[in-house]
Chain A
């Protein structure tokens, strides 16, 4: 039974398109995150939500907009995709000092 699931696993799209990645956790955690792993393999936090409220927003272009309809979901919408957005995006949730990650979404912008 998957704890943190994100869809799709792979996403190939053209520059300028708008796309969404969905994330759901069934762990009952209050806090959810989006991380980006770039070509240099850095895992960097993008956003953090606690009980549906945005609490961390790192220096991410405003083309990226997280949406949390409820505590169990944190979706990532990306507008006007650029080549540099190509990366693996990980959703995560946490409680009591430990984060659980989804399997990642490999986004390729062509």
Chain B
């Protein structure tokens, strides 16, 4: 049972345009959400996060939007650059973690075309 779903396995975007990566979750106990970026043969690296008390968090070209009622979050990258080409994982963690358990989606492979 996938608690975190990224329904688009891949996405191609022209350089300079906006990339929008989507993520849905089913577990209402999740209250902290993260995006990770992964290059081939490397581990995932943290990109941006959002807690459930917010609906938007922005960091440079990256913005994450959270719609709690729809259990949906999205990552916007604007403008997209060729170096953004990677696999992006959405992850979620339950509230109250002294421990910290991430549940990951399957990832979306973003290709930014020069």
Contacts and interface: CB of A to CB of B under 8 A. Distances in A.
B43 A102 contact: yes
A101 B42 CA distance: 9
A4 B43 CA distance: 10
Contacts of B93: 97
A35 B49 CA distance: 20
Nearest to B109: A41
Interface in A72-93: 90, 92
A94 interface: yes
A104 B41 contact: yes
Interface string B95-114: 00011111110110000000
A interface majority secondary structure: strand
How many residues of A sit at the interface, in one of the four size bands?
20 to 34
Contacts of A50: 98-99
Interface in A3-49: 4, 31, 35, 40-45, 48
Most buried by A among B89, B91, B104: B104
Given A31-B99, A44-B104, A101 B45 contact: yes
Contact of B42 (A92, A94, A104): A104
A110 interface: no
A55 B91 CA distance: 19
Contacts of B41: 103-104
Interface of A: 4, 31, 35, 40-45, 48, 50, 55-56, 90, 92, 94, 97-104
27 contacts: A4-B43, A31-B99, A35-B104, A41-B106, A42-B104, A42-B106, A43-B91, A43-B102, A43-B107, A44-B104, A45-B103, A55-B99, A56-B101, A90-B44, A92-B43, A97-B32, A97-B93, A98-B46, A98-B49, A100-B45, A101-B36, A101-B43, A101-B45, A102-B43, A103-B41, A103-B43, A104-B41
